[in-house]
Structure 1
Amino acid sequence: MAKGVKVAVVSTVFAVMVGGAGYGAYNFVSALTKDGSGSGGVRSGPPGADEIAKTSKDFFAAWEKGDAAGAASLTNNSTTAEALLTGYKTDAHIGDVRITPGKATGATVPYSVKATVSYDGKSKPLAYESKLTVVRGVTTGKALVDWQPAVVYPKLKAEDRLVTGESANPSIEAVDRSGKVLTKEKYPSLGPVLDALREKYGAEAGGTPGIELVVKHPDQTPDTSLLTLAEGKAGKLETTLSATAQAAAEKAVKLYHQSSVVAVKPSTGEVLAVANNRTDAFNAAFEGTKAPGSTMKIITAAMLIDNGVTSMNGPAPCPDSAVWQGQTFKNLTGMQSNEGATLANSFMRSCNTAFIKLIDEKPLTDDSLTLEAQNRFGIGEDWKTGVVSFDGKVPAVGGPDRAAGAIGQGQVQMNPLNMASVTATAITGTFRQPYLVSPELDDRKLATAKGLPYNTASQLKQMMRMTATQGTGAKAMAGLGGDIGAKTGSAEVDGQQVSNSWFTGFRNDVAAAAMTEEGGHGGDAAGPIVAAVLRAAG
């Protein structure tokens, strides 16, 4: 039959069916539209098991072939997916991809990937596991892969890229103060710190770059190394860390989620340990910006003494409540009032109202606490520790926030590094900016502050000793020998049911501070962490 005749016949049949067949014609037309759902519209509802299997199978097949556009078309974000899948081959130089799917759980399909990374004549196998989820396309109704960077590699986050090439920085062999090698395998929470040290000091340490597969991040975060194809020469980098103290810190923070701790040597400012137990890779121990609660009373007490308001054995009444410019402040539940309390007694019991009642005494002003923190303790003085750090914030404020700042709330922000340094300054009278790497390596200038008068430091140290043996820190510090002292803190945070736990203390020539998010009272979570580190390092 001629082509024209076929077309005519089909057209005639179609016209007859549409014109006179009613329901049957409707089904025929419906079958030729959209996705064959039978309704003339897009499909809805969760994808079925058959759709999940087909979509994931087709996606894996396209990925294995290096067909980035084809694989991306099976996702719900084809533009972003295509860019990352293209870079998988062209930038990361990953080929010979073989994907083995596992058993689906609902719409989620786990899978293992085996591939080869090749660059400049060097090759190494790459193996990892990930998963994807199949969803219903909002506009198309098609079953599509819900696009996330982790589909390509589980450690990828938004805007991360996989790249293989010569290392941006030579690798380093970081060693502690005694020459012991520090690795992220042995000290997991040091991973981000070691990456940062490599980023900054790789060249200065004298190493030569190798060839690596890395995750490149969109911000200033150092590359994350995934696979080394060719070893470079590692440069040796001496740090101030103590392997013994670091091991204790790593173990201690594991006991409490979202915890961080720092230990320093008061006589030098050297950082002995830094550890974090967090769900992210954030170095909260150095970069955190949280209200420190009553650990701030170390600085507030110093302000009161330095300005002649009171002294360790001078009056600091502790009523049940105190009102400052219309806001009422109270003590922790269960604390008995003591109108005849001294500063030492109110300090070791951590009485909020005692400090609130004294902050309007002459000659104190809105900026007195700020000046004390900055000029005496070096807070806010642009610390150069060797890696990125936040050096504390005690702004000059009026109103209720002035009172709140005196007890470590309001606009005051600190981290364990800051509070370990505050303790070190309090017990020695000298501010020595904490550092991880000697400033002699890169000629950087450390921050300075004038420190405390001898009389003030002596009183602070004695009040911290009393807190560790008779006050709120006694339970956590029990069993520690030597010269010990402490200060507890709990900081209320909007939206949290439980306060953040803070604790700082010293033992001989070691000062440490810890913070546990939603850890409760200072002695409950942060206290045992600090005590464990002091026990090992002090």
Structure 2
Amino acid sequence: MRREVKYGLIGGSVALVVGVVGGFTLFGGSDGASPQAVRSADAKSGDGASVPTGPLTAKEVNTTAQAFLTAWQSGDAAKAAALTDAPDAARTALASFAQQAKFTKVTLKPGTPTGDKVPYTVGAQISFKSVQTPFSYGSAVTLKRDKATGKPQVTWQPSALYPGLAKGDELRTGEAEAPPIKAVDRNGTELTAKDHPTLSAVLDSLRTKYGTKTDGKPGVELYIHRAKAANSNQQQPDKTLKVLSQGTPGTLKTTLDATLQAAAENAVKGKKSASVAAVKPSTGEILAFANSPANGFNVATQGSMAPGSTMKIVTAAMLMDKGLTAPDKKDPCPQFVTVGGWKFQNLNKSEIPDGTFAQSFAASCNNAFIGHAKDLGDDDLTKEARDVFGLGLNWATGIPTFDGTVPVQHDAQMAASLIGQGGVRMNPLNMASVAATAQSGTFRQPFIVAQSLDNRAFAKAARTMKPDTASNLKSLMKLTATSGTGAEAMQGLSGDVGAKTGSAEVDNQDKPNAWFAAYRNDLAAAAVVPASGHGGTNAGPLVRALLAAN
């Protein structure tokens, strides 16, 4: 299930179908207008001749696209590449494309252009050892006018070869680099992309990384072989496009819980955009995650968004660690606080003038936190997030993840970070881990397959939470879950419970991103619902669905 992509027909290596592009008018004729390009009086070439400017004419688009496709199909990679804005990159890719993909009898059939974009269908015969099978797909190129010469040219992108290809990706046919896997949950229940669409990319990633560590045998496939990422946590899995011969799946056990996974998927179902994740505080095992849309980007584990007031879990721990406050200590939350020339105000200009820190935490009153900016060093929050909550460390979860970032900031930006704005970035898995650390008092790195499978090094926080801080933090989160901003979502849930809501403001967005992080006994979860409003009302029900299903 992995392979490489390079387009380009090497002379003699491919039996071409002659005349499919050449010898007929591509795109169905002329636009009925003169092919004359718009000329500017002050646009001159080196020899003084006028250089065409302005939008490409339909004829220019048709003629250049026809020449490009004709050269590509005929196996003349150099000629095709010369018609692009990146001839070296295009020539390399085109020259190796058919050879890597094991394509023969390649044909290119153009569709109807839309402005400067020209679609086409690629047809080919895949020929690998004794396997012969047809394959076809659609792609497109966009054309533009070269500023220096005025000539039309193809804007080169790897996706011209196959949709979705990025720089360094390759289309390959051959024996898969890893056998297929039969992924099972912690209880042995099989997890498939058909039953759990939101797991599709993760199952591909698990196969890429761990398929060879199972007892499976690889088959023969056409697949996209992804370029190697600089950060292994961001490595994208190879993608199977066509199975030519089946391999034998190997069983791979995960930490997921099929019941909780179904609950997570049902919780986000029908929402335009939403993500949720759950972990086991006592071990760090990832129990479930889901996204809507299910086939979209995996925000639950790879997203990078301001977490809003859910970050106050970390901030509160830091303030209590430093002895700056305590649940029953007077800690007023004024309407306005000015830091670094920025004037911060609470939602609706509310205030708690004579309240305790517990009251401000449960009501999520911003300025009780921002008011402490004057007492803090620029790196205090960064240290607490990293050294106690494990954020920003290189998590070895077993799948691609973004592990949170809390950068060192100054003045107003540092103050904004205290309430999960500024440069702070998280995703639901990060915040589920934060809730789990609050529940247990100890950071345990999230993971989806056993450490023993590949002996990878788990991230470890420098220290555990101070005992008094751990106890006080749980009391704050319990108060929030029972009588604060999280009470509506957590109503009726028994046991050891705690919660924190969040609403993260985003520029040019009418409503904030809604966040909710909570725990119940040995289960912690977090969710984000972008552009929806208050965290308790919009993200809270997603987290509750998981906590109630346990």
Deviation at 1:407, TM superposition (A): 2.0
**8 Å CA contact retained: 2:310, 2:500:** yes
Is 1:471 paired with 2:480?
A: no
Kept in 2: contact 1:316–1:358 (CA 8 A): no
Aligned to 1:440: 452
Match of 2:101 among 92, 105, 109: 92
Letter in 1 for 2:327: M
Q: Distance in 2 between matches of 1:346 and 1:458?
A: 18
The residue identity in structure 2 corresponding to 1:163 is R
Partner of 1:243 in structure 2?
Answer: 258
Corresponding residue number in structure 2 for 1:373: 385
Q: Which residue in 2 is equivalent to 1:356? A: 370
- How high is the sequence identity, in percent, across the aligned residues? 49
Work out the CA distance in 2 between the residues paired with 1:138 and 1:474. Answer: 61
The match for 1:166 is: 175
User: Contact conserved, 1:258 with 1:279, CA < 8 A, in 2?
Assistant: no
Give the aligned residue type for 2:416. Answer: A
Residue 408 of structure 1 pairs with residue 420 of structure 2: yes
Q: Tell me the equivalent position of 1:489.
A: 502
> How many Å apart are 1:424 and its aligned residue?
0.9
Name the counterpart of 1:338. Answer: 352
Gap runs ≥5 in structure 1: 1-34
Task: In structure 1, give the amino acid aligned to 2:104.
Answer: G
Q: CA deviation at 1:154?
A: 1.3
| Equivalent residue, structure 2, for 1:267 | 282
SS of the equivalent of 2:388 reads: helix
Of 106, 121, 127, which residue of structure 1 is paired with 2:130?
121
* Residue pair 1:64, 1:96 contacting (<8 A) in 2 also: no
From 299, 310, 326, the equivalent of 1:311 is: 326
Distance 1:279 1:44, change over 3 A: farther
When structure 1 is superposed on structure 2, of 263-272 and 396-405 the one drifting more is 396-405
Question: What amino acid sits opposite 1:164 in the alignment?
Answer: T
Deviation at 1:516, TM superposition (A): 4.4
The CA deviation at 1:528 is 4.0
Alpha-carbon distance in structure 2 between the residues aligned to 1:150 and 1:309: 55
Counterpart in the other structure of 2:121: 112
Q: What root-mean-square deviation, in Å, do the aligned CA atoms of Structure 1 and Structure 2 show?
A: 3.5
Aligned amino acid, residue 442 of structure 1? D
Offset at residue 527 of structure 1 (A): 3.4
Q: 2:199 corresponds to which letter in structure 1?
A: L
- Shift in alpha-carbon separation, 1:239–1:75, aligned structure 2, 3 A: same
CA distance in 1, matches of 2:431, 2:207: 26
Distance 1:343 1:91 in 2: 63
Give the corresponding residue for 2:91: 82
Report the equivalent of 1:530: 543
| SS class of match (1:150) | helix
Aligned to 1:210: 219
Out of 243, 250, 256, the position equivalent to 1:228 is 243
Q: Give the stretch that moved more between structures: 340-349 or 175-184.
A: 175-184
Q: Residue 386 of structure 1 is aligned with which of 398, 402, 418? A: 398
| Residue 504 (structure 1) aligned with residue 504 (structure 2) | no
Using the TM superposition, give the Cα deviation of residue 368 of structure 1 relative to its aligned residue in structure 2, in angstroms.
4.5
More deviation, 267-276/440-449: 440-449
State how far apart, in whole Å, the 2-side matches of 1:109 and 1:259 are.
35
1:514 to partner: Cα distance: 2.4
Does structure 2 retain, via aligned residues, the 8 Å contact 1:320–1:331?
yes
Structure 2: how far apart are the matches of 1:243 and 1:43? 62
Question: More deviation in 167-176 or 304-313?
Answer: 304-313
Partner amino acid, structure 2, of 1:348: A
Residue 434 of structure 1, CA deviation: 1.4
Indicate how the Cα distance of structure 1 residues 164 and 321 shifts in structure 2: closer, same or farther if over 3 A, else same: same
Residues 1:513 and 2:526 aligned together: yes
Q: Which residue of 1 aligns with 2:201?
A: 192
- Superposition deviation, residue 517 in structure 1: 4.8
Instruction: Tell me by how many angstroms 1:237 deviates.
Output: 1.1
Q: Deviations over 1:481-510 (max 9, x none)?
A: 665432122334567665443321223432
Q: Tell me, in whole angstroms, the C-alpha distance in 1 between the residues paired with 2:442 and 2:36.
A: 79
Q: Given the superposition, is the C-alpha separation of residues 43 and 371 from structure 1 closer, same or farther in structure 2, using an over 3 Å criterion?
A: closer
In the superposition, relative to structure 1, how do residues 366 and 77 fare at CA in structure 2: closer, same or farther (>3 Å)? closer
Name the count of aligned residue pairs.
Answer: 500
**Secondary structure of the structure 2 residue equivalent to 1:377:** coil
SS at match of 1:486: strand
- Once the two structures are superposed, what CA deviation does each residue of 1:121-154 show, in whole Å capped at 9, x if it has no partner? 2233222222334545555655554433222211
Give the SS at the match of 2:125: strand
Q: Which moved more, 1:503-512 or 1:133-142?
A: 133-142
TM-score (norm. length: structure 1)? 0.80
Task: Show the counterpart of 1:201.
Answer: 210
SS in 2 for 1:515: strand
C-alpha displacement of 1:264: 0.6
Unaligned 5+ runs, structure 2: 1-34, 40-48, 230-234
Q: Secondary structure at the match of 1:90?
A: helix
Give the whole-Å Cα distance in 1 for the aligned partners of 2:255 and 2:197.
Answer: 18
Task: Tell me how far 1:296 sits from its aligned partner.
Answer: 1.5
Structure 1 36/463 Cα, relative in aligned 2: closer, same or farther at 3 Å?
closer
Q: CA deviation at 1:357?
A: 2.8
Max Rg structure: 1
- Report if aligned partners of 1:164, 1:213 keep a CA contact under 8 Å in 2: yes
Supply the distance in 2 between the matched residues of 1:136 and 1:325 (Cα, whole angstroms). 48
Q: Distance in 2 between matches of 1:331 and 1:524?
A: 19
Aligned to 1:429: 441
Q: Distance in 2 between matches of 1:70 and 1:427?
A: 64
* Paired residues of 1:501 and 1:516 also in contact (CA < 8 A): yes
Question: Using a 3 Å threshold, how does the CA distance of structure 1 residues 112 and 457 change in structure 2: closer, same or farther?
Answer: same
Q: 2:472 aligns with which of 436, 454, 459?
A: 459
SS of the residue 2:326 aligns to: coil
Contact 2:198 2:294 in 1 (8 A): no
Distance (whole Å) between structure 1 residues aligned to residue 284 and residue 38 of structure 2: 74
Structure 2 residue aligned with 1:4: none
